[in-house]
Amino acid sequence: MALDPKLRDGIIASVEEGFAEQVSYTQELIRFRSIRGEEQAIQDFVFRAFRDRGLAMDRFPMDRAAIEAHPGGSKFTAEHSEAPIVVGIHRPREETGRSLILQAHVDVVPAGPEDMWTHAPFDPVIEGDWLYGRGGADMKAGHAANLACLDALRRIGLQPAATVTVQSVVEEESTGNGALMTHLRGYKADAVLIPEPEDEKLVRANTGVLWFEVEVRGMPVHVREMGTGQNAIDAAYRVVGALREIEARWNADKAGRPHFEGEEHPINLNIGKIEGGDWASSVPAWCRLSCRISIYPGTSAAAASREIEDAVRAFSRNDPFLANNPPRVTFNGFFAEGYVLEEGSEAEKVLGAAHRDATGKALESFMTAGYLDTRVHALYDRIPALCYGPTSRNIHGFDEAVSLSSLKRITTTMALFVAEWCGVEPVA
C-alpha cells in the first residue's frame, strides 16, 4: 500500500528541514581518520550518537573463532581491526510493521600522498554540490543517512512501527568480517538496506573478492656479479604474468552469466602493493606482492583460491629459477563470495516506489564489481539485501566526494522506504 500523500509530503519536507544538520554530522564523521585499525574513536562517537537518539545499545568485539568457523569468514592477519561493532536498536511500542537493518561501515581506505589532494583528506570541505573528504562518499554519507532518515520521521512525531537495527561496522574494506559478526551476534530482519555510494541505483549483482600475497625468494649477490644471483623482484614480475593469465581466463568465462556477460572486464586483478629487496647494490633476496582479485557469484572462495595456488605452482615448475624456489601464496584478507539480488521482492518494490517519489524516476539496477557487505545478508540471512546510495566520485582515489543533492534525494528515499516498509506510529 502506497504512503498517504500527506505523510509522504511531510517526510519529504522533514528531510529538507534537517538536511543541514545531516551534512554537519557527516562532516564530523569525515574528520575521524578511521583507517583500518584506527576506528575506535569514531565508534565511540557513533555509540554516543545512537544512544542520544534513545536506541537500545550493543557494543561487542570480533569473535575470531566464530568468524573463522563460518564459511563466510575472511582471513585474519595482524592488521585486522580490533575496533568494536556498534549496534543501536529501535523497538516500537507495538510491532506491526516489517523489521529492517540499516547498516554502514566507518573504516576507510588510506588517503595516499596528502599533497595530491586539493584539500586535506580528512578536512570535510564543501564546494558547490560536492562534499570532499576521504570516506565521505564511501561511506560516511550513507552512515549519516541511516540516522537522518529516522530523524526525519521523529521530527514530524513519528517512529517506525517495527524493530529497526542500526549497525556500524568495521573491516568492510578489508575482510567483511564486521558485517559477518553482526550476523553471528544474531541480528536479523525482514530486509536490510546499506546506503553505499551507488549512483542512486540498486545493486543487482556483486562480485566476491579474494586478497592474497605472493612471496618470492631470490639469491642475493653483489651487483657486480648479478648474473650469478637471482633477482626476486624480477621473478615476481614473471609471477604477475601468470596471475594475469588467470584474470584473462576468468573474464573469458563471463559468457552465460547474467549481469556479467555484457561487461567488458568484470573480473579485475589488482597488484595493490609491492615490497622487496634490502639494498640498492644487492640483488634482491625477497619480494612480496599484495593482490586482490574478484570472483563471480556462485564461485566459492575456496575453489578460486585453489585455482590461484595451482596456477602459480604450474607456472613455477616451468621457470628455471622458481622451479627450485617456488613462491609462497598466502590468503590474507577478503575470502568472500559474491551474490545476486533476485528480482521481485516486496522490499525492492517498496524501495522502487520510494525512489520514484523522491526523484521522479524509476529505480535502475546494475552490477558492481567490488565487495559489498550486503553479501552477508543475501547469502547467510537470505533476506532482501538492498544496496542503494548517493552519487559520488573518486572513491578510493584523490579528492573523494559525494554529491549533496544526491545525498538529499537518497535520504528522502530511505525515509519514505522506512515509513512504508516498517509502518509508522506516534513517537513514544
How far does Cα 11 stand from its chain's mean position? 28
CB atoms within 10 A of CB 313: 14
State the sign of the Cα–Cα–Cα–Cα dihedral 71, 240, 369, 407. positive
* Mean pLDDT (10-residue bins), the chain, 428 residues: 91 98 98 98 98 98 98 97 98 97 98 97 98 98 98 98 98 98 98 98 97 90 67 93 96 94 95 94 92 97 97 94 94 97 97 98 96 97 98 97 98 98 94
Which cell numbers hold the place of 45? 562517537
Helix axis angle for 40-52 and 141-155, nearest 10°, is 10
Which cell numbers hold the place of 162? 517495527
Contact 341, 202 (CB under 8 A): yes
Predicted pLDDT at 31 = 98
The pTM score is: 0.95
Give the span between the Cα atoms of 176 and 367, in whole angstroms.
19
Contact 427, 159 (CB under 8 A): yes
The residue written with cell numbers 511500542 in the block is 93
Give the span between the Cα atoms of 245 and 295, in whole angstroms.
14
List CB contacts of 123: < 8 A, sequence separation 6 or more.
31, 132, 133
Give the span between the Cα atoms of 179 and 185, in whole angstroms.
10
Give the span between the Cα atoms of 237 and 223, in whole angstroms.
19
Q: CA-CA distances (angstroms) from residue 100 to 11, 188, 192, 211, 213?
A: 18, 8, 6, 31, 38
Predicted pLDDT at 67 = 98
Predicted pLDDT at 225 = 66
> Which residues are bridge partners to 393 per DSSP?
401
From the CA atom positions of the chain, what is the Rg in Å? 23
List CB contacts of 57: < 8 A, sequence separation 6 or more.
47, 50, 51, 86, 87, 88, 89
SS3 state at 203: strand
Task: Kindly report the three-state secondary structure assignment for every residue of 112-154.
Answer: CCHHHCCCCCCCCCEECCEEECCCHHHHHHHHHHHHHHHHHHH
Give the span between the Cα atoms of 280 and 45, in whole angstroms.
46
Q: DSSP secondary structure string, 71-122?
A: TT-----TTS--PPEEEEEE--SS--S--EEEEEE--B-----GGGSSS-TT
SS3 state at 287: strand
